[in-house]
Amino acid sequence: MYASVADLRAEGVTDAVADDARLEALIARASAYIERITGRFFEARELTLTIDGTGGRTLRLGHPIIRIDDVFIEASVFSPPDLPVDPSVYRVYNRHLTQGLLLPDDRDDPRLEFVHGSDLLGVRFEQPALSLSSLVWPRGEQNITVRGAFGYTEPDGSPTGRTPELIRHVTKLLVMRELPRLADLGGREDAQRRWRLTSERTRDQAYTLEALRLTGAFTGDPEIDNVLVAFVRPPDLGAA
């Protein structure tokens, strides 16, 4: 989950408004919504990916890379085991964590890439007959297995990074929208549409809402949606 009960308490949500169990349920729902909308997750998760070989030197992955543990190439469907790939012959593009580099941002193009040409200086092979042209990911269907840790995190000096602060903020905003229960129609109306408020008179309870400028844009609240749009996974990013 991308926020905690303590985070909501710090924002002024009291036990009278929601107990810990309800806040945990709302945080879990908001976190799942964020993942559904963005197509990403924002914490380190151990995964085993099976990917189609491209026939080229680059293998694009579906999630930002935190750590690569093992890479295997399917030798043959009739002759297991798979062939391990020596990590000295490919680069891992997770420089946002290893170097603090955010321009370019490898989270938007996570990949493994065989080193070619002069990049191979100092790398020794057990098989002298291996040529540079052999350093490709063999074309095939789900013939490459990659094991490691993945997730869209931001650098904080740790090996895994942390959940982006903007995602944590949006999680809390989504929870605040859902604090009123379904039967509290007035409370839900106020919580979910207050961002459109342009004027209000307290004596007779009259208020004016700004006209909706967008339709079908996530929640309709620009404070939330503008952040979610920025984190949406690019199309055709790679294998999942």
| Distance between CA atoms of residues 237 and 44, nearest Å | 18
- The CA–CA distances, whole Å, from 198 to 104, 127, 201, 211, 226 equal 40, 72, 11, 10, 20
| Distance between CA atoms of residues 143 and 140, nearest Å | 6
pLDDT in tens, 147-161: 999 999 999 999 999
| Predicted model pTM | 0.79
Q: Which residues pair with 83 in a beta bridge?
A: 73
pLDDT in tens, 15-42: 999 999 999 999 999 999 999 999 999 9
Task: DSSP for 101-124, please give it.
Answer: --SS-GGGS-EEEE--GGGGTT--
Domain parsing of the chain, residue ranges: 5-41+163-231, 45-150
Radius of gyration of the chain measured on its C-alpha atoms: 24
Give me the percent of the chain exceeding a pLDDT of 70: 72
User: Can you give the pLDDT at residue 121?
Assistant: 54
| Distance between CA atoms of residues 1 and 42, nearest Å | 9
User: Can you give the pLDDT at residue 117?
Assistant: 65
Band the pLDDT of 168: cuts 50, 70, 90: very high
User: Can you give the pLDDT at residue 135?
Assistant: 82
User: Can you give the pLDDT at residue 237?
Assistant: 55
For residues 54-79, give the mean pLDDT. 88
